[in-house]
Structure 1
Amino acid sequence: MNFESLSSRQLERKQKKIQIGAILGAGIILMVFLGPGLVGSYMSYIIDLTLIYAIGTLSISMLANYAGIWSIGHTAFLAIGAYLAANLSERGFTVEIIILLGFIISLVLGVVVGLSAGRFAALYMAILTLALGLVSNEIIGRWQSVTGGDQGITVGPARLLFSNTPLDTNGHILITIVLVTLTFLVVTLITKGNLGRRWLAIKSQRMASMSIGLKPSLENALAFGLSGAITSTAGVALAFSMMYISPEAFSLAIATNLLLCTVVGGVGSIGGALLGAMFLVLVPEMAREVQGISAYVFGIATILVLLFLPKGIVPGIAQRLKKWSNNSSKRASYVAATVDNLTDSDFENLSSLVENLLKPATSNLTISGLSVSFGGVRALDNVSLEIPPGSVLGLIGPNGAGKTTLLNVLSGYVKPTNVESLRLGKTDLTSLAPYGRVKHGFGRTFQHAELFDELTIEENIYLAAQQRNKFNKNHEPGNNAAKIAEMLIDNLWLRPYARLYPGEVPFGVQKVTDIARALATGAQVIVMDEPFSGLDAEERSEVRSILKAMKNAGVSILIIDHVVQEVLNIADNMVVLNFGSVLATGSPEKIKNNPKVLEAYLGSALKDGKEVLSN
């Protein structure tokens, strides 16, 4: 297999199959050796406990790496599974039903708590999860009829659905092996699939993720809920392994140790979760003779890892091995391709592509009486403008004039202080969240591209195309997300960079990718924040060609840029802002000769623009 010829998604699927095969193989090997009791009881107990904590560590690791949420309260979910097992097993419930109930209860609780993640910064979310852990400890101590309070509670016999015979110790280990295997499989499917891509996009660029239709608050809630539900299964396994549950198993110390294991082993890594769990179980076992030394070992190990392997032991070693391989030299030669002068054929292909992907705009974008204040600062003051369907409106003005603020209001990131009308056709945009505006054909690009750093160039575009097809139930079967991404990559000269990450490509490529992402959403109205900013002459030529193709396809465009000559060349009409107010409106020719505009901005801007264009 030539891996260089694979797309990002094909390579991902190939790696996912290999990983799934490895997990299943490891699970079978563990069953063969541990199930019949081929190892001693003490060693079986150590392995069992390690696998149980590997489930908890991996659930926290998944949440931190893909959703950017660090939880100190996952012991609450561990307790839910454990105390359900202790109480329901005494009432004759089977292991399968207990696991299912724990999963559902923890999922619901996790989603409720996770909804708060969309409202708080990472620090406050960590404090919220800490509160969850402390509240759960308080409940455990006081709800004695269920938990046994500080005295703890014994666990009933474990029975399977189709067997009335209670499981012995080897049977308990088999339950753990099955659970850890299923957990590793589920986490692999989640993180290597669409959910993982969506979570990574939101984690890296929250605002930009909304511009393609993602809902950060709901995705964060789902991530937290699934993570908590997975942790509850570890609680069930822990209960049947220990056969006795006490509050110490869910203390703040355990919660902290789980976090330390996640950091030491490596965030987002299955191997890191296993290594971290081994660290958590083996260090206290090896240090039994010296009281309190395990805390020092945990602390010193964490400091050393953060200093020398900040991504954790497993990812850190993997990254260094990758550097030592010859893949880097292959990648460098692969990226060496550049875009030469564009031909008429290139432009025809580009125009055909845009016409195929985007429907012509049919609605006016109307702004009337828009004002925005930040404290005592008036960023926009009674601004009104209109973009007829299929036209290009250029918005220019000096720094601080309110241009980006206007785009942020249109995108839904900033709420207007006052507004008479903000509509796309008959749709009132003020009533829609940012991701809701995408459904109505609204698209956005950003001054600094704002790409999803942990997704490849191809995955950035593919994710946007997926959202397009999710909103458009009547899309043509041939225009699936993969096909759309392939067409954009090939016709926007991105093929040499498709499998690279945004941080590995030139800024011009990032800007083109940002535009491609907006095109992939199928938008009919696209607002563009300085698409020419920071580009050289060749890169501006590429962007210019894309904008002309969009205009020919009938897309409505609102463009702001300090490279004024480019805006004047493509715009049908112009609006000039100064100190948050409309200074002038009219055709490009009229604006170029407006004395007020020349005095306030355009004289120096045109001069600077000509100098830039001559470089």
Structure 2
Amino acid sequence: MARAVDVPAPSLRQRPWVRRAAPLLLVVLLAVLPLVLPESTNETLARIGVFAVAVLGLNVVMGYTGQVSLGQIFFLGLGAYITGYGVQQDWNVVLVFLLACLGAALAGLVVALAAARLGGLAIAMVTIALPIVGVPLAKRLSDYTGGSQGLSARFADAPEATGLYDDQWQLYVVLVIGGIVFLLTRSLVRGKFGRAFAIVKGNEAVAASMGISPYRYKVLAFTIASLIGGVSGFLYMFVIQYTSPETMSFGHSIELVAAMVIGGAGSIVGSLLGGAYYVLVPELTNQVDSSLTALLQGVVLLAVLFVLPGGLASLVRRLGRGRRRLRAEPGPGASPTTPLSTAGSATATEEPGTERRGHA
């Protein structure tokens, strides 16, 4: 006779009402936080959101598609310049946002059409040229960029009807726009395009044999990353309200790549953690010793990658696997139970008279 097996109750996270309530709780939390946090914290969180979006764009092309891109900061700077110029010309803010996104996407498409057929170091060299060319170009086009003096544009004042302070308004705008970008990107990388990106990243020859064009999907990934860079440029100008040629310098591009690696390549959560690293770690190292900022950041980078080669996001995954393993392990003194199907099959296949022969 088959022995009854106790089926464990579903964990709290697996219950349907928890899965439905968790997003709503997160939205409520994000809606309340800007109202209760001090001004300095709201400003810091807004900057983290700006660079989390920038790291997310870099993650699309590097983390999910496996293409080396060292020029993502160029598209952030381009979006910031388009935003600043449009605001100074009193253009509609929605139009300015669209132009910043589309301008960066178009520039990325042009670069991708030429560079996507390359690979490895060749495409890295092409993307390195973007910030190297972008800095002197921004200085030369002084009628549009302000030259070496940079470009300022203040358009983040909170509308009087909202009753919000400026820092609260800025954080709300970053949360809404950044949240939409993160949700759309999450849907993208978890759908058929994400699966195609993963196959191209794994082996381009295999992708081609499956009817997936590596060139087409690399161009698509690079263009999407550039568009997201334009969004981060708009948010950068919205929060910082000033940009200069230094914004798109090659050093900042390398810092953006380091933020993506430390946060976790090919991870949505890693993009958020990378944005926090980009903003918080330089502030902390400056407080320790401003003359050793670069050295201390390098030490932090090496330490994180030595302990967590997959970045900080891998720590979240490890903790999740550890909790599941603990729940799966039987408690002390508990005996392993035989699955119902196994017990049933064993009983059904047992030969008649086995027990009698054993007792005999």
TM-score normalized by the length of structure 1: 0.47
The answer to whether the 8 A contact 1:116-1:217 is kept is no
Please report how far the alpha carbon of residue 137 of structure 1 lies from its aligned counterpart in structure 2 after TM superposition: 1.4
Structure 2 CA distance for partners of 1:299 and 1:191, relative to 1, 3 Å: same
Kindly state the Cα deviation for residue 196 of structure 1 after the two structures are TM-superposed.
0.3
Amino acid at match of 1:221: V
- Counterpart of 1:46 in structure 2 is 44
Trace 1:346-495 onto structure 2 (pairs within 5 A). Answer: none
Q: CA separation of 1:328/1:62 partners in 2, compared to 1, >3 Å: closer, same or farther? A: farther
1:225 alignment partner in structure 2: 223
* Structure with a larger share of its residues in strand: 1
- Supply the RMSD in Å over aligned alpha carbons: 3.1
2:189 pairs, out of 188, 191, 195, with: 191
Per-residue CA distance 1:518-541 (angstroms, 9 max, x = gap): xxxxxxxxxxxxxxxxxxxxxxxx
> Residues of 2 paired with 1:129 and 1:70: CA distance?
8
- For residue 309 of structure 1, what is the amino acid of its counterpart? L
* TM superposition shift of 1:21: 7.9
Q: Verify the 8 A CA contact 2:156 2:239 in the aligned structure 1.
A: no
Match of 2:317 in 1: 318
**Residue matched to 1:292:** 291
1:208 to 202, 206, 209: 206
Partner of 2:356: none
Kindly provide the amino acid, as one letter, of the partner of residue 254 in structure 1: H
Gaps of 5+ in 1: 1-13, 335-615
Q: Which amino acid aligns with 2:299?
A: I
Cα distance, 1:206 vs. partner?
0.9
Alignment deviations for residues 104-146 of structure 1 (CA, whole Å, 9 cap, x no partner): 1222221222234432122221121111121111211211111
1:30 aligns with: 30
Which range moved further: 185-194 or 18-27?
A: 18-27
Q: What secondary structure, in the 3-state scheme, does the structure 1 residue paired with 2:91 have?
A: coil
Number of the residue aligned with 2:254 = 256
In structure 1, how many angstroms separate the alpha carbons of the residues matched to 2:273 and 2:233? 19
**Aligned counterparts of 1:123 and 1:250: Cα–Cα separation in 2:** 21
Q: How far 1:234 moved relative to its partner?
A: 1.0
Taking a change above 3 Å as real, the CA distance of residues 202 and 306 of structure 1, as seen in their structure-2 partners, is same
Alpha-carbon distance change, 27 to 329 in structure 1, aligned in 2, over 3 angstroms = closer
Query: For the Cα contact (< 8 Å) 1:89–1:158, is it kept in 2?
Result: no
1-side partners of 2:205 and 2:102: how far apart? 31
**1:25 to partner: Cα distance:** 5.0
Partner of 1:148: 146
Separation in 1, partners of 2:187, 2:103: 22
User: Quick one: higher RCO (CA 8 Å, sep 6+), 1 or 2?
Assistant: 2
User: What is the SS of the residue equivalent to 2:290?
Assistant: coil
Distance in 2 (alpha carbons) for counterparts of 1:21 and 1:71: 38
Q: Which residue of 1 aligns with 2:117?
A: 119
The AA in structure 1 aligned to 2:245 is P
Q: Which residue type is aligned with residue 109 of structure 1?
A: A
**Alignment partner, residue 307 of structure 1:** 306
1:108–1:204: structure 2 CA closer, same or farther, 3 Å change rule?
Answer: same
Which has a greater percent of helix?
2
How far off is 1:271 after superposition? 1.9
- Equivalent pair of 2:157/2:166 in contact (CA under 8 Å): no
Cα contact 1:202–1:216 (8 A) shared by 2 = yes
Aligned mates of 2:20, 2:102 — CA distance in 1:
25
% identity of equivalent residues: 26
Cα pair distance change 1:20/1:182, threshold 3 Å? farther
CA separation in 2, counterparts of 1:294 and 1:85?
31
The change in CA–CA distance for 1:118 and 1:300 in structure 2 (over 3 A counts) is same
Query: Are the counterparts in 2 of residues 50 and 281 from structure 1 also a CA contact under 8 Å?
Result: yes
Corresponding residue for residue 103 of structure 1: 101
Q: For residues 138 and 293 of structure 1, what CA distance do their matches in structure 2 show?
A: 28
**C-alpha distance 199-294 of structure 1, shift in aligned 2 (>3 A):** same
Structure 1 contact 158–166 (Cα < 8 Å) conserved = no
**Distance between the aligned counterparts of 2:257 and 2:23, measured in 1?**
23
Instruction: Trace 1:173-192 onto structure 2 (pairs within 5 A).
Output: 173-192=171-190
Q: Identify which range, 183-192 or 243-252, moves more after superposition.
A: 243-252
What amino acid maps onto 1:201 in structure 2? I
Inter-partner Cα distance in structure 1 for 2:58 and 2:46: 19
Q: Aligned residue for 1:239? A: 237
Name the structure 1 match of 2:70: 72
Tell me what 1:553 maps to. Answer: none
Change (3 A) 1:22 1:82: farther
Distance in 1 (alpha carbons) for counterparts of 2:37 and 2:313 = 27
**Structure 2 unaligned spans of 5+:** 1-13, 330-338, 340-360
Pick closer, same or farther for the CA change 1:158–1:320 going to 2, 3 Å: closer
Letter in 2 for 1:80: L
Q: Which has the larger radius of gyration?
A: 1
Divergent runs of 4+, >3 A: 18-28, 158-161, 165-169, 323-330
